[in-house]
Amino acid sequence: MPEYFLYTEKQSQQADEIASRWGFVCCDQPPTGLALYLDSAGLQLKDFDVPRQQGVMVDFLSGASEYRRLRSGAKKEPIAKAIGMKGNQARTVIDATPGLGRDAFVLAGLGCSVYMIERSAVVAALLDDGIQRLAQQMPELAEQFKLIHGNSIDILQHWPHQVVEAIYLDPMFPHRKKSALVKKEMRVFQNLLGTDADADSLLSPALKLATQRVVVKRPNSAEVLAGQSPDMAITSKKHRFDVYLT
């Protein structure tokens, strides 16, 4: 695995614990390129070659996240319809490509128990930091998340946990627009991870594991995953949610 640096201006026990858990190297001088940065706000991923750039972090407590979770029409969001939410019915969902956890947070706000499987140690550390900060203010909501560090393809094939009704996939899609027009978070993530070249391999084990449905989020212009047509699709302005009933 590549070596990732964790920079903190003041050496702390928290930084040492994060570095030890995820296999990072602590440093007390600003590194070059992509590295993690820890301050009072939380753990962030920054490009230290870009001066004064704000870091990318998982922030379940941001105003945008809370608005999306709490607004009265949340159950009418395309993702809620796609996942099959009805009334107060609780669901157990696997988010096999969680990214910054924004869609997972919406699902948790709708009452779902959400397993997030993340193979990148850097992204998993960001998600874990976000969950820990959420737990300080909203412990019951934080308990709805379970974070698993590993390769989703392998874990779905050998799932050791409870029955899951739905699996959610939102693989990284190569953007054709100029990089300046792509959101900052996506640019940083693509620099870190590249695109999900093996995304097609997620669909088969997901269909075997989910007891009700698999939902795949795609740009409206994108081909279906693994060349397999869904049973139905729910569209929004920029994306569609391909639904495979199991």
Checking if the pLDDT of 133 tops 90, the result is yes
Is 27 in the same domain as 130?
A: no
pLDDT of amino acid 63? 62
**What residue numbers bound the domain in which 171 lies?**
63-245
Checking if the pLDDT of 151 tops 60, the result is yes
Tokens 């609780």 belong to 90
Residues 6+ apart with CB under 8 A from 14: 38
With beta carbons less than 8 A apart as the criterion, state whether 40 and 76 touch.
Answer: no
Is 30 in the same domain as 111?
A: no
Is 105 in the same domain as 185?
A: yes
Length of the chain: 246
Is 33 in the same domain as 151?
A: no
Is 77 in the same domain as 137?
A: yes
Q: Which pLDDT tens digit goes with each residue over 26-64? A: 998 999 999 999 999 999 999 999 888 788 999 998 765
Is 99 in the same domain as 136?
A: yes
What's the whole-number mean pLDDT along residues 225-240?
94
pLDDT of amino acid 22? 96
pLDDT of amino acid 25? 95
217 in a structural domain: yes
Q: Which pLDDT tens digit goes with each residue over 9-19? A: 887 899 999 99
Please give the helix or strand (H or E) that residue 228 lies within, else none: none
Is 35 in the same domain as 129?
A: no
Is 39 in the same domain as 101?
A: no
Checking if the pLDDT of 180 tops 50, the result is no
Q: Give the domain CATH number at 157.
A: 3.40.50.150
Q: Is the pTM of this model over 0.85?
A: yes
pLDDT of amino acid 1? 47
Confidence band for 178, pLDDT divided at 50, 70 and 90 = very low
Q: Which pLDDT tens digit goes with each residue over 62-96? A: 765 565 555 545 677 899 999 998 777 779 999 99
218 in a structural domain: yes
Partners of 92 in the β-ladder: 113
